[in-house]
Structure 1
Amino acid sequence: MRTVDVARESGYSVQQVRDLERLGVIPPAVRSDNGYRSYTALHVHALRAYRGLAGAVGPVEARRLLAELRTATIEEAAAAVDGVHARLAREREEALRAQRALQGIQAEEDGRDDDPMTITQLAEALGVRSSTLRFWEQEGLVLPERVTTLRARRYGPAAIGAARVVAALRAGGYGIPAVREVMGSLDGRDGLEDARRILRGRLDQLAARSVALLRAGADLAAVVTAVDAMRGTPGPPE
Protein backbone atom coordinates (compact mmCIF):
# COMPACT_ATOMS: atom_id res chain seq x y z
CA MET A 1 0.00 0.00 0.00
CA ARG A 2 1.12 3.56 -0.75
CA THR A 3 1.16 6.32 1.85
CA VAL A 4 -1.93 7.88 0.28
CA ASP A 5 -3.75 4.52 0.47
CA VAL A 6 -2.97 4.15 4.17
CA ALA A 7 -4.06 7.73 4.81
CA ARG A 8 -7.38 7.13 3.09
CA GLU A 9 -8.04 3.86 4.93
CA SER A 10 -7.04 5.18 8.37
CA GLY A 11 -8.61 8.63 8.21
CA TYR A 12 -5.31 10.47 8.66
CA SER A 13 -3.60 12.80 6.23
CA VAL A 14 -0.48 11.72 4.34
CA GLN A 15 1.66 13.97 6.53
CA GLN A 16 0.08 12.58 9.70
CA VAL A 17 0.86 9.03 8.57
CA ARG A 18 4.50 10.00 8.08
CA ASP A 19 4.60 11.83 11.42
CA LEU A 20 3.07 8.88 13.27
CA GLU A 21 5.56 6.53 11.64
CA ARG A 22 8.37 8.82 12.78
CA LEU A 23 6.95 8.80 16.33
CA GLY A 24 6.89 4.99 16.35
CA VAL A 25 3.11 4.63 16.40
CA ILE A 26 3.37 2.28 13.42
CA PRO A 27 6.30 0.08 12.34
CA PRO A 28 8.66 1.57 9.76
CA ALA A 29 7.43 1.11 6.21
CA VAL A 30 9.44 -0.95 3.78
CA ARG A 31 11.35 1.28 1.35
CA SER A 32 11.68 0.41 -2.31
CA ASP A 33 14.84 1.05 -4.33
CA ASN A 34 13.47 4.43 -5.42
CA GLY A 35 12.72 5.41 -1.79
CA TYR A 36 8.93 5.06 -1.86
CA ARG A 37 7.24 3.73 1.26
CA SER A 38 5.31 0.48 1.13
CA TYR A 39 2.76 -0.28 3.85
CA THR A 40 0.55 -3.25 4.76
CA ALA A 41 -2.87 -3.70 6.29
CA LEU A 42 -1.12 -3.96 9.68
CA HIS A 43 -0.15 -0.30 9.43
CA VAL A 44 -3.78 0.66 8.86
CA HIS A 45 -4.90 -1.37 11.86
CA ALA A 46 -2.18 0.23 14.01
CA LEU A 47 -3.22 3.74 12.99
CA ARG A 48 -6.88 3.06 13.70
CA ALA A 49 -5.96 1.48 17.03
CA TYR A 50 -3.91 4.55 17.90
CA ARG A 51 -6.87 6.83 17.22
CA GLY A 52 -9.02 4.92 19.69
CA LEU A 53 -6.28 4.56 22.28
CA ALA A 54 -5.44 8.26 22.08
CA GLY A 55 -9.09 9.06 22.75
CA ALA A 56 -9.12 6.69 25.72
CA VAL A 57 -5.80 7.39 27.45
CA GLY A 58 -4.20 10.31 25.60
CA PRO A 59 -1.64 10.35 22.77
CA VAL A 60 1.49 9.89 24.88
CA GLU A 61 0.15 6.81 26.68
CA ALA A 62 -1.28 5.49 23.40
CA ARG A 63 2.14 5.66 21.74
CA ARG A 64 3.74 3.87 24.68
CA LEU A 65 1.09 1.16 24.71
CA LEU A 66 1.26 0.48 20.98
CA ALA A 67 5.04 0.19 21.14
CA GLU A 68 4.62 -2.26 24.01
CA LEU A 69 2.07 -4.33 22.08
CA ARG A 70 4.45 -4.74 19.15
CA THR A 71 6.93 -6.61 21.32
CA ALA A 72 4.57 -8.33 23.77
CA THR A 73 3.26 -11.87 23.74
CA ILE A 74 -0.44 -12.22 23.10
CA GLU A 75 -1.01 -12.84 26.82
CA GLU A 76 0.94 -9.71 27.77
CA ALA A 77 -0.86 -7.64 25.16
CA ALA A 78 -4.27 -8.81 26.36
CA ALA A 79 -3.32 -7.94 29.94
CA ALA A 80 -2.17 -4.46 28.87
CA VAL A 81 -5.46 -3.74 27.11
CA ASP A 82 -7.43 -5.15 30.05
CA GLY A 83 -5.48 -2.74 32.25
CA VAL A 84 -6.80 0.23 30.25
CA HIS A 85 -10.37 -1.00 30.67
CA ALA A 86 -9.78 -1.47 34.41
CA ARG A 87 -8.31 2.01 34.75
CA LEU A 88 -11.36 3.60 33.12
CA ALA A 89 -13.64 1.55 35.37
CA ARG A 90 -11.77 2.75 38.48
CA GLU A 91 -11.98 6.37 37.39
CA ARG A 92 -15.71 5.98 36.74
CA GLU A 93 -16.29 4.43 40.17
CA GLU A 94 -14.39 7.30 41.80
CA ALA A 95 -16.59 9.84 40.06
CA LEU A 96 -19.75 7.93 40.98
CA ARG A 97 -18.70 7.69 44.64
CA ALA A 98 -18.04 11.42 44.72
CA GLN A 99 -21.38 12.05 43.04
CA ARG A 100 -23.20 9.98 45.65
CA ALA A 101 -21.35 11.81 48.42
CA LEU A 102 -22.41 15.17 46.98
CA GLN A 103 -26.00 14.01 46.92
CA GLY A 104 -25.71 13.19 50.61
CA ILE A 105 -24.23 16.63 51.27
CA GLN A 106 -27.18 18.30 49.55
CA ALA A 107 -29.56 16.49 51.89
CA GLU A 108 -27.53 17.70 54.87
CA GLU A 109 -27.32 21.24 53.48
CA ASP A 110 -31.12 21.40 53.17
CA GLY A 111 -31.52 20.60 56.84
CA ARG A 112 -28.76 22.68 58.46
CA ASP A 113 -28.45 26.29 59.56
CA ASP A 114 -25.68 28.71 58.66
CA ASP A 115 -24.06 28.98 62.07
CA PRO A 116 -20.25 28.92 61.97
CA MET A 117 -18.42 25.85 63.28
CA THR A 118 -15.23 25.29 65.16
CA ILE A 119 -12.65 22.96 63.69
CA THR A 120 -13.74 20.20 66.09
CA GLN A 121 -17.40 20.59 65.16
CA LEU A 122 -16.70 20.58 61.44
CA ALA A 123 -14.36 17.59 61.70
CA GLU A 124 -17.06 15.65 63.56
CA ALA A 125 -19.70 16.65 61.00
CA LEU A 126 -17.52 15.45 58.12
CA GLY A 127 -16.21 12.35 59.85
CA VAL A 128 -12.58 13.42 59.49
CA ARG A 129 -9.81 14.43 61.88
CA SER A 130 -9.05 18.01 62.79
CA SER A 131 -5.57 17.45 61.39
CA THR A 132 -7.19 16.65 58.03
CA LEU A 133 -8.89 20.04 57.98
CA ARG A 134 -5.59 21.70 58.82
CA PHE A 135 -3.96 19.83 55.94
CA TRP A 136 -6.70 20.96 53.55
CA GLU A 137 -6.08 24.49 54.76
CA GLN A 138 -2.35 24.16 54.01
CA GLU A 139 -3.26 22.97 50.52
CA GLY A 140 -5.53 25.99 50.00
CA LEU A 141 -8.68 23.87 49.68
CA VAL A 142 -10.63 25.12 52.71
CA LEU A 143 -9.91 28.52 54.25
CA PRO A 144 -11.46 29.16 57.69
CA GLU A 145 -11.89 32.45 59.48
CA ARG A 146 -9.53 33.05 62.42
CA VAL A 147 -10.71 34.73 65.61
CA THR A 148 -9.59 35.43 69.20
CA THR A 149 -6.07 36.09 70.38
CA LEU A 150 -5.40 32.34 70.24
CA ARG A 151 -6.24 32.44 66.51
CA ALA A 152 -8.74 29.64 66.87
CA ARG A 153 -10.29 28.55 63.59
CA ARG A 154 -13.92 29.27 62.83
CA TYR A 155 -15.62 28.05 59.67
CA GLY A 156 -18.38 30.16 58.15
CA PRO A 157 -21.00 28.96 55.62
CA ALA A 158 -18.67 29.29 52.60
CA ALA A 159 -15.85 27.38 54.28
CA ILE A 160 -18.24 24.70 55.53
CA GLY A 161 -19.62 24.23 52.03
CA ALA A 162 -16.12 24.00 50.58
CA ALA A 163 -15.09 21.46 53.23
CA ARG A 164 -18.11 19.31 52.40
CA VAL A 165 -17.23 19.30 48.70
CA VAL A 166 -13.58 18.45 49.43
CA ALA A 167 -14.67 15.63 51.74
CA ALA A 168 -16.95 14.23 49.04
CA LEU A 169 -14.25 14.33 46.39
CA ARG A 170 -11.69 12.73 48.69
CA ALA A 171 -14.21 10.02 49.61
CA GLY A 172 -14.61 9.43 45.88
CA GLY A 173 -10.91 8.68 45.55
CA TYR A 174 -9.77 12.02 44.13
CA GLY A 175 -6.17 12.96 44.91
CA ILE A 176 -5.26 16.40 46.24
CA PRO A 177 -4.17 17.78 42.82
CA ALA A 178 -7.49 16.69 41.26
CA VAL A 179 -9.45 18.14 44.19
CA ARG A 180 -7.54 21.42 43.85
CA GLU A 181 -8.41 21.55 40.16
CA VAL A 182 -12.10 21.01 40.87
CA MET A 183 -12.19 23.51 43.71
CA GLY A 184 -10.47 26.10 41.54
CA SER A 185 -13.31 25.76 39.02
CA LEU A 186 -16.11 26.27 41.53
CA ASP A 187 -18.22 29.37 41.81
CA GLY A 188 -18.20 30.26 45.49
CA ARG A 189 -21.87 31.23 45.38
CA ASP A 190 -22.98 27.79 44.31
CA GLY A 191 -20.05 25.46 44.83
CA LEU A 192 -22.12 22.33 45.44
CA GLU A 193 -23.99 22.59 42.15
CA ASP A 194 -20.77 23.42 40.33
CA ALA A 195 -19.12 20.33 41.79
CA ARG A 196 -22.02 18.19 40.62
CA ARG A 197 -21.79 19.74 37.15
CA ILE A 198 -18.05 19.01 36.98
CA LEU A 199 -18.60 15.40 38.02
CA ARG A 200 -21.34 14.97 35.42
CA GLY A 201 -18.93 16.30 32.82
CA ARG A 202 -16.25 13.90 34.03
CA LEU A 203 -18.63 10.96 33.71
CA ASP A 204 -19.52 12.06 30.17
CA GLN A 205 -15.81 12.24 29.31
CA LEU A 206 -15.21 8.78 30.76
CA ALA A 207 -18.06 7.39 28.67
CA ALA A 208 -16.54 8.92 25.53
CA ARG A 209 -13.14 7.46 26.41
CA SER A 210 -14.65 4.01 26.95
CA VAL A 211 -16.43 4.18 23.58
CA ALA A 212 -13.15 5.19 21.91
CA LEU A 213 -11.43 2.17 23.45
CA LEU A 214 -14.24 -0.12 22.31
CA ARG A 215 -13.96 1.22 18.77
CA ALA A 216 -10.25 0.46 18.81
CA GLY A 217 -10.87 -3.13 19.94
CA ALA A 218 -10.94 -4.88 16.56
CA ASP A 219 -7.88 -3.02 15.31
CA LEU A 220 -5.98 -3.71 18.53
CA ALA A 221 -6.81 -7.39 18.15
CA ALA A 222 -5.54 -7.33 14.58
CA VAL A 223 -2.26 -5.72 15.67
CA VAL A 224 -1.76 -8.17 18.53
CA THR A 225 -2.56 -11.30 16.53
CA ALA A 226 -0.43 -10.16 13.58
CA VAL A 227 2.54 -9.60 15.86
CA ASP A 228 1.99 -12.99 17.48
CA ALA A 229 1.78 -14.66 14.06
CA MET A 230 5.01 -12.98 12.88
CA ARG A 231 6.75 -14.13 16.06
CA GLY A 232 5.82 -17.71 15.22
CA THR A 233 6.98 -17.46 11.59
CA PRO A 234 10.34 -19.20 11.14
CA GLY A 235 13.15 -17.09 9.82
CA PRO A 236 15.23 -17.86 6.73
CA PRO A 237 17.47 -20.93 6.89
CA GLU A 238 21.03 -20.31 7.91
Structure 2
Amino acid sequence: MREKLQSGGRLRPVDLARGHGLSTQAVRNYEEAGILPAADRTPAGYRAYTSLHAAALRAFLALVPGHGHRTAASIMRAVNEGAVDGAFRLVDESHAQLLDDRRTLQAVESALRDLGEGAGSAPLVASGAGGSFIGPLAGALGLRPATLRKWERAGLVRPRRDPRTGYRVYDEADVRDVRLAHQLRRGGYPLERIAPLLAEVRAAGGTEPLAAALGDWHGRLSARGRAMLAGAAELDAYLRERG
Protein backbone atom coordinates (compact mmCIF):
# COMPACT_ATOMS: atom_id res chain seq x y z
CA MET A 1 0.00 0.00 0.00
CA ARG A 2 1.06 3.61 -0.57
CA GLU A 3 0.60 6.01 2.33
CA LYS A 4 -1.18 9.31 1.73
CA LEU A 5 1.12 12.27 2.32
CA GLN A 6 -0.11 15.09 4.55
CA SER A 7 0.38 18.76 3.72
CA GLY A 8 4.07 19.56 3.37
CA GLY A 9 4.81 15.99 2.25
CA ARG A 10 4.76 14.69 5.83
CA LEU A 11 3.50 11.41 7.26
CA ARG A 12 2.48 10.82 10.86
CA PRO A 13 3.31 7.58 12.72
CA VAL A 14 -0.33 6.56 12.36
CA ASP A 15 -0.10 7.08 8.59
CA LEU A 16 2.73 4.53 8.44
CA ALA A 17 1.11 2.13 10.88
CA ARG A 18 -2.28 2.14 9.18
CA GLY A 19 -2.59 -0.59 6.56
CA HIS A 20 0.25 -2.69 7.96
CA GLY A 21 -1.54 -3.83 11.11
CA LEU A 22 1.03 -2.02 13.25
CA SER A 23 0.75 0.25 16.24
CA THR A 24 2.20 3.73 16.15
CA GLN A 25 4.54 2.63 18.94
CA ALA A 26 5.87 -0.16 16.70
CA VAL A 27 6.71 2.43 14.03
CA ARG A 28 8.54 4.54 16.59
CA ASN A 29 10.37 1.44 17.84
CA TYR A 30 11.49 0.62 14.30
CA GLU A 31 12.92 4.10 13.95
CA GLU A 32 14.74 3.83 17.28
CA ALA A 33 16.14 0.43 16.21
CA GLY A 34 17.56 1.94 13.00
CA ILE A 35 15.19 0.01 10.76
CA LEU A 36 13.72 3.31 9.60
CA PRO A 37 15.93 6.34 9.00
CA ALA A 38 15.76 9.03 11.67
CA ALA A 39 12.76 11.33 11.25
CA ASP A 40 12.80 15.10 11.36
CA ARG A 41 10.72 16.84 14.02
CA THR A 42 8.06 19.49 13.66
CA PRO A 43 8.33 22.72 15.68
CA ALA A 44 5.96 21.07 18.16
CA GLY A 45 8.30 18.09 18.53
CA TYR A 46 6.26 15.56 16.55
CA ARG A 47 7.95 13.10 14.19
CA ALA A 48 7.62 14.03 10.53
CA TYR A 49 7.97 10.95 8.34
CA THR A 50 8.20 11.04 4.55
CA SER A 51 7.74 8.72 1.59
CA LEU A 52 11.32 7.54 2.28
CA HIS A 53 10.26 6.20 5.67
CA ALA A 54 7.22 4.56 4.09
CA ALA A 55 9.48 2.80 1.56
CA ALA A 56 11.79 1.67 4.37
CA LEU A 57 8.89 0.21 6.33
CA ARG A 58 7.58 -1.62 3.26
CA ALA A 59 11.05 -3.01 2.58
CA PHE A 60 11.53 -4.22 6.14
CA LEU A 61 8.12 -5.89 6.37
CA ALA A 62 8.71 -7.56 2.99
CA LEU A 63 12.14 -8.84 4.07
CA VAL A 64 10.98 -10.44 7.32
CA PRO A 65 9.15 -13.50 5.85
CA GLY A 66 12.17 -14.59 3.81
CA HIS A 67 15.06 -13.57 6.04
CA GLY A 68 13.62 -13.49 9.55
CA HIS A 69 13.15 -10.47 11.81
CA ARG A 70 16.75 -10.25 13.03
CA THR A 71 18.39 -10.45 9.61
CA ALA A 72 15.81 -8.13 8.03
CA ALA A 73 16.50 -5.57 10.76
CA SER A 74 20.26 -5.91 10.21
CA ILE A 75 19.81 -5.42 6.45
CA MET A 76 17.82 -2.23 6.98
CA ARG A 77 20.27 -0.86 9.55
CA ALA A 78 23.15 -1.49 7.17
CA VAL A 79 21.37 0.39 4.36
CA ASN A 80 20.45 3.30 6.64
CA GLU A 81 24.05 3.54 7.83
CA GLY A 82 25.29 3.69 4.26
CA ALA A 83 26.80 0.19 4.34
CA VAL A 84 24.92 -1.08 1.30
CA ASP A 85 27.51 -3.77 0.51
CA GLY A 86 27.07 -5.08 4.04
CA ALA A 87 23.34 -5.28 3.46
CA PHE A 88 23.89 -7.20 0.21
CA ARG A 89 26.17 -9.61 2.04
CA LEU A 90 23.43 -10.35 4.57
CA VAL A 91 21.00 -11.00 1.71
CA ASP A 92 23.55 -13.31 0.07
CA GLU A 93 24.03 -15.23 3.32
CA SER A 94 20.28 -15.85 3.58
CA HIS A 95 20.19 -17.13 -0.01
CA ALA A 96 23.18 -19.38 0.72
CA GLN A 97 21.39 -20.76 3.77
CA LEU A 98 18.29 -21.46 1.70
CA LEU A 99 20.40 -23.31 -0.88
CA ASP A 100 22.05 -25.28 1.91
CA ASP A 101 18.62 -26.20 3.30
CA ARG A 102 17.54 -27.38 -0.15
CA ARG A 103 20.62 -29.58 -0.39
CA THR A 104 19.91 -31.00 3.05
CA LEU A 105 16.37 -31.85 2.00
CA GLN A 106 17.69 -33.49 -1.16
CA ALA A 107 20.17 -35.54 0.89
CA VAL A 108 17.45 -36.69 3.30
CA GLU A 109 15.18 -37.70 0.41
CA SER A 110 18.04 -39.59 -1.25
CA ALA A 111 18.93 -41.35 2.00
CA LEU A 112 15.32 -42.34 2.61
CA ARG A 113 15.04 -43.72 -0.94
CA ASP A 114 18.21 -45.76 -0.46
CA LEU A 115 16.89 -46.98 2.86
CA GLY A 116 13.65 -48.07 1.23
CA GLU A 117 15.45 -49.86 -1.60
CA GLY A 118 17.37 -51.85 0.98
CA ALA A 119 14.27 -52.83 2.91
CA GLY A 120 13.94 -56.07 1.00
CA SER A 121 17.43 -57.25 1.83
CA ALA A 122 18.25 -59.61 4.68
CA PRO A 123 17.52 -58.05 8.08
CA LEU A 124 20.49 -56.63 9.92
CA VAL A 125 19.02 -57.35 13.36
CA ALA A 126 19.98 -60.78 14.57
CA SER A 127 16.92 -62.95 15.20
CA GLY A 128 16.44 -64.30 18.68
CA ALA A 129 18.97 -61.95 20.23
CA GLY A 130 16.65 -58.95 20.64
CA GLY A 131 18.99 -56.89 18.49
CA SER A 132 22.32 -56.83 16.70
CA PHE A 133 25.76 -56.56 18.26
CA ILE A 134 28.22 -54.00 16.97
CA GLY A 135 30.47 -56.42 15.06
CA PRO A 136 27.81 -58.08 12.87
CA LEU A 137 26.07 -54.74 12.23
CA ALA A 138 29.28 -53.01 11.21
CA GLY A 139 30.23 -55.92 8.99
CA ALA A 140 26.83 -55.98 7.26
CA LEU A 141 27.21 -52.30 6.36
CA GLY A 142 30.88 -52.44 5.44
CA LEU A 143 31.85 -50.26 8.39
CA ARG A 144 34.33 -50.65 11.22
CA PRO A 145 33.05 -51.07 14.78
CA ALA A 146 35.14 -48.02 15.69
CA THR A 147 33.02 -45.97 13.28
CA LEU A 148 29.81 -46.97 15.05
CA ARG A 149 31.36 -46.13 18.41
CA LYS A 150 32.32 -42.71 17.03
CA TRP A 151 28.77 -42.16 15.81
CA GLU A 152 27.48 -43.09 19.24
CA ARG A 153 29.75 -40.49 20.90
CA ALA A 154 28.45 -37.93 18.40
CA GLY A 155 24.86 -38.73 19.42
CA LEU A 156 23.81 -40.30 16.11
CA VAL A 157 22.84 -43.64 17.62
CA ARG A 158 22.03 -44.69 21.16
CA PRO A 159 22.22 -48.50 21.49
CA ARG A 160 21.31 -50.08 24.80
CA ARG A 161 23.73 -52.28 26.73
CA ASP A 162 23.22 -55.97 27.37
CA PRO A 163 22.83 -56.22 31.18
CA ARG A 164 24.85 -59.45 31.35
CA THR A 165 27.73 -58.72 29.00
CA GLY A 166 27.72 -54.93 28.70
CA TYR A 167 27.84 -55.26 24.93
CA ARG A 168 26.07 -52.72 22.74
CA VAL A 169 22.77 -54.01 21.35
CA TYR A 170 21.21 -52.28 18.34
CA ASP A 171 17.44 -52.73 17.99
CA GLU A 172 15.46 -52.08 14.80
CA ALA A 173 15.25 -48.32 15.38
CA ASP A 174 18.98 -48.16 16.05
CA VAL A 175 19.71 -50.09 12.85
CA ARG A 176 17.47 -47.71 10.93
CA ASP A 177 19.39 -44.73 12.35
CA VAL A 178 22.75 -46.35 11.53
CA ARG A 179 21.70 -47.03 7.95
CA LEU A 180 20.36 -43.50 7.50
CA ALA A 181 23.53 -42.03 8.99
CA HIS A 182 25.57 -44.25 6.68
CA GLN A 183 23.74 -42.94 3.61
CA LEU A 184 24.14 -39.31 4.70
CA ARG A 185 27.84 -39.80 5.45
CA ARG A 186 28.31 -41.28 1.99
CA GLY A 187 26.65 -38.10 0.70
CA GLY A 188 29.35 -36.04 2.40
CA TYR A 189 27.35 -34.80 5.39
CA PRO A 190 29.32 -34.11 8.61
CA LEU A 191 28.29 -35.78 11.86
CA GLU A 192 27.14 -32.54 13.47
CA ARG A 193 24.57 -32.07 10.70
CA ILE A 194 23.38 -35.66 10.72
CA ALA A 195 22.60 -35.74 14.44
CA PRO A 196 19.66 -33.27 14.28
CA LEU A 197 18.21 -35.05 11.24
CA LEU A 198 18.21 -38.36 13.09
CA ALA A 199 16.61 -36.61 16.07
CA GLU A 200 13.79 -35.57 13.72
CA VAL A 201 13.40 -39.17 12.56
CA ARG A 202 13.12 -40.36 16.16
CA ALA A 203 10.70 -37.56 17.06
CA ALA A 204 8.55 -38.39 14.02
CA GLY A 205 8.42 -42.05 15.04
CA GLY A 206 10.35 -43.38 12.04
CA THR A 207 11.15 -42.63 8.43
CA GLU A 208 7.59 -42.98 7.12
CA PRO A 209 6.21 -40.01 9.10
CA LEU A 210 9.31 -38.02 8.16
CA ALA A 211 8.86 -38.89 4.50
CA ALA A 212 5.27 -37.64 4.70
CA ALA A 213 6.56 -34.32 6.04
CA LEU A 214 8.99 -33.79 3.16
CA GLY A 215 6.28 -32.27 0.97
CA ASP A 216 5.61 -29.67 3.65
CA TRP A 217 9.35 -29.05 3.89
CA HIS A 218 9.46 -28.43 0.13
CA GLY A 219 6.56 -26.00 0.47
CA ARG A 220 8.23 -24.04 3.24
CA LEU A 221 11.46 -23.69 1.26
CA SER A 222 9.56 -22.54 -1.84
CA ALA A 223 7.59 -20.01 0.20
CA ARG A 224 10.83 -18.72 1.69
CA GLY A 225 12.40 -18.36 -1.75
CA ARG A 226 9.41 -16.45 -3.08
CA ALA A 227 9.36 -14.23 0.01
CA MET A 228 13.01 -13.39 -0.62
CA LEU A 229 12.10 -12.27 -4.14
CA ALA A 230 9.33 -10.04 -2.79
CA GLY A 231 11.69 -8.64 -0.17
CA ALA A 232 14.35 -7.95 -2.79
CA ALA A 233 11.86 -5.97 -4.89
CA GLU A 234 10.87 -3.73 -1.98
CA LEU A 235 14.49 -3.33 -0.88
CA ASP A 236 15.41 -2.26 -4.41
CA ALA A 237 12.52 0.25 -4.38
CA TYR A 238 13.80 1.66 -1.08
CA LEU A 239 17.35 1.95 -2.43
CA ARG A 240 16.00 3.81 -5.44
CA GLU A 241 14.02 6.12 -3.14
CA ARG A 242 17.19 6.87 -1.21
CA GLY A 243 18.95 7.73 -4.46
Q: TM-score, normalised by structure 1?
A: 0.78
Gap change, CA 1:219 and 1:85, over 3 Å in 2: same
Q: TM-score, normalised by structure 2?
A: 0.76
- Residue range with higher mean Cα deviation, 62-71 or 124-133: 124-133
Structure 2 equivalent of residue 82 of structure 1: 92
Deviates more, 1:114-123 or 1:42-51: 114-123
Task: Give the counterpart letter for 1:159 in structure 2.
Answer: D
- 1:133 — aligned with what? 148
- Listed as ranges, the matches of 1:1-238 within 5 Å are 1-8=11-18, 10-72=20-82, 74-113=84-123, 115-116=125-126, 117-123=132-138, 130-147=145-162, 151-168=166-183, 171=187, 173=189, 175=193, 178-179=196-197, 181-187=199-205, 191-227=206-242, 229=243
* Counterpart residue number, 1:234: none
- Once residues 17 and 172 of structure 1 are traced to their aligned partners in structure 2, the CA distance between those partners, rounded to angstroms, is 46
- Relative distance call for 1:167 and 1:57 in structure 2 (3 A) is farther
- Using CA pairs below 8 Å that are at least 6 residues apart, which structure has the higher relative contact order? 1
User: Offset of 1:105 from its aligned partner?
Assistant: 0.7
Q: Please list every run of 5 or more consecutive structure 1 residues that lacks an aligned counterpart in the other structure.
A: 230-238
The CA distance in 2 between the partners of 1:72 and 1:48, in whole Å, is 19
Q: Partner amino acid for 2:77? A: A
Q: CA deviation at 1:106?
A: 1.1
Q: CA–CA distance in 2 between the matches of 1:13 and 1:137?
A: 51
Q: Structure 1 vs Structure 2: percent identity of aligned residues?
A: 33
* Distance change (3 Å), C-alpha of 1:44 and 1:120: farther
CA separation of 1:107/1:198 partners in 2, compared to 1, >3 Å: closer, same or farther? Answer: same
Aligned residues: 225
- Segments of 5+ residues of structure 2 without an aligned counterpart are 1-10, 127-131
